[in-house]
Structure 1
Amino acid sequence: MTALADRLLAVATEAVDAGARLIFIAGPQGVGKSTAMTTLTAAIPGSVALALDDFYLTRTEREALARDVHPLFATRGPPGTHDMTLLTDTLARLMAAGPGDSTRIPAFDKRADDRRAPADWTVVRGAPRVIFVEGWLLGVAADPAAAGAPPLNAVEAEDPDGTWRAYQEAELAGPYARLWDMADAFIYLDAPGFATVHDWRMEQEETTRGLAPGTLDAARRDWVADFILHYQRLTERLLAGHRRPGTAIAVDRLRRPV
């Protein structure tokens, strides 16, 4: 067990012992949330883990959003690109499930950039004792003023009038806030800063593609560098503490608790 997983397990167990059943775990890309979820569900009997990433809108739905609202919504990740109805309904079914019930959990194929067919979804049987949800933006607060702020990076420069940002903030104040209201507890994994998140995301891309460290080709590195800019404003907002109350676990560049 890594030091981060060990610390997260201790914090999560404390929350469960205090009566929390639905626990949200937030952390930036590449911090190790998915790996930690495996540790948690193996160590805490009757627990299941869901990933926010599995509840993206379908590619067709995001293409429509990009056409009707702003082209930047073609890229998955920011608020507005998740199927919040599907997620809240899935959580409600899990919370209400009885011993003989089955709940289907969606799955998203990131290589195909689309939701998997229902036949490929996971099935959770029975009533979970604890439900973990992990995602990069869980708990972040809305900031209506962000739409009128100067562009933070090259991606935001493609949104000069703030339409993309305004839609995200409205979503955060509406369906995302209602999702946050469902949680019994929040646990935050805090990176040293956004520059570290950028490096972690590069490492994550290499791991996903089965490459040795430092061997990601230039074109893919450029893609990752552009992709991560879609997340910068909200990642920095989370790290600055503009989020729902919860327990924070700060980590260093090597993902070790500090």
Structure 2
Amino acid sequence: MAPPFTDDKSPICIPFILNRLKLHRQQQTSSSQPPPPLIIGLNGIQGVGKSTLVVPLAAALQQEGIPTLVCSIDDFYLTHEDQVALARANPENALWQVRGEPGTHDIPLLKSVFSSLLRHEQTLLPQYDKALFSGQGDRLPSSSWIPINHSSNSPPLQVIILEGWCVGFRPIPPSAITAKHTSPSRTLHQHRLEHLLAINEKLKEYDQVTDMFGAFLHIDSENIEYVYDWRQEQEEHLRLARGDPDAGMTREQVIKFVDAYYPAYELYSEGLRNGLLPEKPGAQLRIIVGRDRKVKQVVEI
């Protein structure tokens, strides 16, 4: 069972965000309207606690008088219909048979929403229900989306945090994909090279959003394979919360589930660690945690 959550990351992240926000404001030239919000990407492998972290982060920023919006890339998954179409069009590519990997998100929608928020326009934030269609999930109708900037009494947003397990992944040269595919790996050898290349090609579209980031938080781990144990702990918590020993996934099911995402970790984690925003020195914070999810090292890039 996982230890109780201890927030040792917000005290590190908040000063970093405040400094980046100050620099962001200084770079704005127009005084006739509020400056566009600072968009912050937040990446962390599944189970590391990124979704838990954004709650105290947003609360701390709000206490500083900084209106903050938190959203997840999960809410920008393709509709169920489009996901099914993608899977049927690529029946041999196991990476696209379920949602999650690059290519299963609606990047034009995400870019459109962010562009609207940067202009402080009235915007609807999509919502996605993972429980629909027996767990395959679907985007909720627009009547269920969250209205942003719809009230004249609402102060303009200053910070937007986009969190997700693949947020910030950038495509790498095809030759690098080939090299990684032929090297010893945990999961890459399970997939055909052309399928990995297809994922990489789709990832180019994500750069349109990544390039909007003014800052980036990377919750890294000493060993990426911790994700398997962390996911298993989440299932144990689910069984405990429901009082049902049969609830949640078995160990074998957890491994199969995480294996569907793991190829992207093997392909793109190195790029995050080398620095996502080279043209913005100091705009990335890499927080490395151990098996207990506690901070072991902090690196500013």
Match of 1:139 among 168, 171, 178: 168
**1:253 equivalent in structure 2:** 291
The answer to whether the 8 A contact 1:55-1:108 is kept is: yes
The SS at the match of 2:199 is: helix
TM-score by length of 2: 0.75
Match of 1:95 among 118, 129, 135: 118
2: CA distance, partners of 1:210 / 1:102: 41
The answer to whether the 8 A contact 1:24-1:187 is kept is: yes
**Which shows bigger deviation, 83-92 or 17-26?**
17-26
**1:227 equivalent in structure 2:** 257
The answer to whether the 8 A contact 1:155-1:230 is kept is: no
Shift of residue 243 of structure 1?
5.0
What are the ranges of 5 or more consecutive residues in structure 2 without an aligned counterpart?
1-5, 26-37, 278-283, 297-301
The alignment's C-alpha RMSD in Å is 2.7
Shift of residue 250 of structure 1?
0.9
| Aligned residues with identical type, % of pairs | 29
The SS at the match of 2:111 is: helix
Select the structure of larger CA radius of gyration: 2
1: CA distance, partners of 2:200 / 2:167: 14
The answer to whether the 8 A contact 1:52-1:134 is kept is: yes
- Residue 187 in structure 1 maps to residue 217 in structure 2: yes
What amino acid sits opposite 1:58 in the alignment? T
Shift of residue 156 of structure 1?
5.4
2: CA distance, partners of 1:76 / 1:243: 27
- Residue 122 in structure 1 maps to residue 146 in structure 2: yes
**2:21 equivalent in structure 1:** 16
What amino acid sits opposite 1:10 in the alignment? P
Match of 2:81 among 60, 71, 76: 60
The answer to whether the 8 A contact 1:141-1:243 is kept is: no
1: CA distance, partners of 2:15 / 2:239: 32
Match of 1:31 among 44, 48, 53: 48
Report Cα offsets for 1:130-149 as digits up to 9, x if no partner.
11111112222312232572
Match of 2:71 among 50, 54, 61: 50
What are the ranges of 5 or more consecutive residues in structure 1 without an aligned counterpart?
none
Report Cα offsets for 1:62-106 as digits up to 9, x if no partner.
111111123531211110000001101011111111xxx532111
Tell me how many residue pairs correspond in the alignment: 252
**Which shows bigger deviation, 4-13 or 20-29?**
4-13
Shift of residue 212 of structure 1?
8.1
Stretches (4+) displaced over 6 A: none
The SS at the match of 1:169 is: helix
What amino acid sits opposite 1:103 in the alignment? T
